[in-house]
Amino acid sequence: MTIEFETPKPIVQQQYVLKTVADNMMRPHARYFDENEHEIPWDYINFMHQAMKASGAGSLAPKEKKDADPNKPKRPPIGYQMLAHMLEIISWGDAGMYLVTPGGGLGAAAVQSAGNPEQKKKFLARFAGDKPTFAAMCMTEAGSGSDTSSIRATAVLDEETNEWVLNGEKIFVTAGEKALTVREETGKGFIVVWATIDPEAGRAGMRSFVVEAGTPGATVTKLENKLGIRASDTAVIVLQDCRVPFENILGKPTVEKTTKGFKGAMATFDATRPLVAAIGMGVARAALEFLKEKLAEEGIEIRYGVPRNRLTSIERDVIDMEVMARSAWLMVLKAVWMADNQKHNALEASMSKVKAGDVGVKITQKAVEILGPLGYSREYLLEKWFRDAKITDIYEGTGQINRLVVARNLLGYRGSELR
Ligand SMILES: Cc1cc2nc3c(=O)[nH]c(=O)nc-3n(C[C@H](O)[C@H](O)[C@H](O)COP(=O)(O)OP(=O)(O)OC[C@H]3O[C@@H](n4cnc5c(N)ncnc54)[C@H](O)[C@@H]3O)c2cc1C
């Protein structure tokens, strides 16, 4: 099987549409939602919901399988490649606003990967409903971020009522407020909460539970004020004797010796890490393009093909930045191509995220440096992209944790052997 580097036609068509969205719905409002952190960009949300519904892209509901036409040539799968390109371009528009695009996010991804057919039908179908709907994933706790095995939230089965009783506090939940709040403007969202059903069992006791918006005992207690991606809400959620029906558990309700369920959750990251990397690459490209545009206004064009010793220092810097961006993007493309072709891509997924995290910060920082006051001023979005870029290196596994994953995969160590 060979990788095709030419962007497939259906993706090019989507890129064209999304560039228009980025230009008209995102860029003009990016500064406003950066400066008004907890305001909700309803125009963008409603537009995207309708657009995704019309194109079928918003529906995560299990689709009825149609009989394939045996005479039609089989197209290679491009789902993850498509997503990577879409996320890159839309984050070029604004990474913070991208994170409030309605749909399931990581919460729906958890249901998709660990839910049974009834759960998928019940919870995922709502994203194709009349109103924009949100879901979120609650894993991180104070003292349990990178080391997910130390989660302390608990889920205890009340056998009389056949309900799970959840207790604990989750922090840094992206879209947590939108997913958990009952609103006229939105459909019924949900959060997926990670908790232990047996604190003695370590990872084998970890399960995830769907908590629907409006469930008593699940409360948003704080919204973070952040450095970047400020259009996106990041919530603290407290679960206090929060009761959910027995059937809201994702995976088996009994503890077994294996950590298969937990590994399954970690495997979702193999699919999503390259996509997070793609978001970072969109921010980096925005900064790089802006830099070249401003240099061109000053009459500085980059002379490609001229020997390096004859280039100016700025030309060398820009070319180095472009090389960094392209090499990171190639890693993203390889990781999503592997995901599309069902190849084990834990190594490539983490590599792409490490690289994109580093490159995004370096490119935006260097662009600010080269443009000086222009880069530092709030008159332009460059200083914002500098702040937005850092998140790629933090969520869905920090740079250090993804380096550990890379090292384990290269050296053949298990998690317990190299930590
Ligand atoms: C804006 C934002 C949105 C987020 N959204 C979500 C979300 O939707 N859902 C969710 O569950 N979480 C979310 N998170 C949490 C995020 O995933 C965690 O912050 C991240 O995993 C790091 O965990 P921590 O904050 O506890 O840091 P720690 O794990 O305490 O790490 C602190 C530092 O130590 C380093 N470190 C830790 N262990 C090792 C090691 N073994 N070797 C080397 N270095 C190490 C880390 O890399 C980091 O630099 C979000 C965070 C932010 C900032």
- Higher per-residue pLDDT: 125 or 70: 125
Q: Taking CA 39 as the corner, what is the angle to CA 387 and CA 384, rounded to the nearest 5 degrees? A: 15
pLDDT digits (tens, 9 = 90+) for 131-162: 999 999 999 999 898 888 889 999 999 999 99
pLDDT at 67: 61
User: Rounded mean pLDDT of 381-395?
Assistant: 97
pLDDT digits (tens, 9 = 90+) for 63-74: 555 566 777 767
Atom 29 of ligand 1, nearest CA residue: 146
Q: Tokens at residue 168, please? A: 């604990």
Burial 315-338 (b: 16+ CB within 10 A, else e): bebbbebbebbeebbebbbbbbbb
In ligand 1, the atom with minimum distance to the C-alpha of 419 is 41
User: Rounded mean pLDDT of 260-279?
Assistant: 80
> What CA–CA distance (Å, rounded) separates 348 from 406?
8
In a mutational test of the pocket of ligand 1, which residue from 146, 178, 388 has the highest number of ligand atoms less than 8 Å from its CB? 146
**What H or E segment, with its residue span, contains residue 208?**
strand 206-212
CATH topology for 261-411 is: Butyryl-CoA Dehydrogenase, subunit A; domain 3 (1.20.140)
Residues in Cβ contact with 330 at an 8 Å cutoff, skipping those fewer than 6 apart: none
Atom 44 of ligand 1, nearest CA residue: 400
In a mutational test of the pocket of ligand 1, which residue from 151, 170, 395 has the highest number of ligand atoms less than 8 Å from its CB? 395
Q: Tokens at residue 133, please? A: 């709907």
Helices (H), 134-201: 176-180
* 145 Cα: distance to centroid of ligand 1 (angstroms): 5
Burial 5-35 (b: 16+ CB within 10 A, else e): eeeeeebeebbeebeebbeebbbebbeebbe
pLDDT at 381: 98
Is any ligand 1 atom within 6 A of the Cβ of residue 150? no
Which range, of 88-97, 245-254, 317-326, 371-380, averages the lowest pLDDT? 245-254
170 and 137 Cβ atoms separated by less than 8 Å: no
pLDDT digits (tens, 9 = 90+) for 186-232: 999 999 999 999 988 888 899 999 999 999 999 999 999 999 999 99
Residues of the chain with CATH 1.20.140.10: 261-411
Helices (H), 238-345: 260-297, 313-340
In ligand 1, the atom with minimum distance to the C-alpha of 141 is 26
User: Rounded mean pLDDT of 237-248?
Assistant: 98
89 and 278 Cβ atoms separated by less than 8 Å: no
Q: Tokens at residue 252, please? A: 């088996």
Rg (the chain; Cα; Å): 22
224 is known as an active-site residue: no
pLDDT greater than 90 at residue 43: yes
pLDDT greater than 90 at residue 78: no
Q: Average pLDDT over the chain, rounded to whole?
A: 92
pLDDT at 270: 86
pLDDT at 52: 86
> What CA–CA distance (Å, rounded) separates 179 from 188?
8
Atom 12 of ligand 1, nearest CA residue: 140
Place domain 129-256 in its CATH homologous superfamily: Butyryl-CoA Dehydrogenase, subunit A, domain 2 (2.40.110.10)
- Higher per-residue pLDDT: 268 or 361: 361
pLDDT at 61: 46
Is any ligand 1 atom within 6 A of the Cβ of residue 145? yes
pLDDT at 373: 96
pLDDT digits (tens, 9 = 90+) for 291-330: 999 999 999 999 999 999 999 999 999 999 999 999 999 9
pLDDT at 264: 60
User: Rounded mean pLDDT of 337-364?
Assistant: 96
> What CA–CA distance (Å, rounded) separates 290 from 381?
9
pLDDT at 257: 64
Residues of the chain with CATH 2.40.110.10: 129-256
In a mutational test of the pocket of ligand 1, which residue from 144, 172, 406 has the highest number of ligand atoms less than 8 Å from its CB? 172
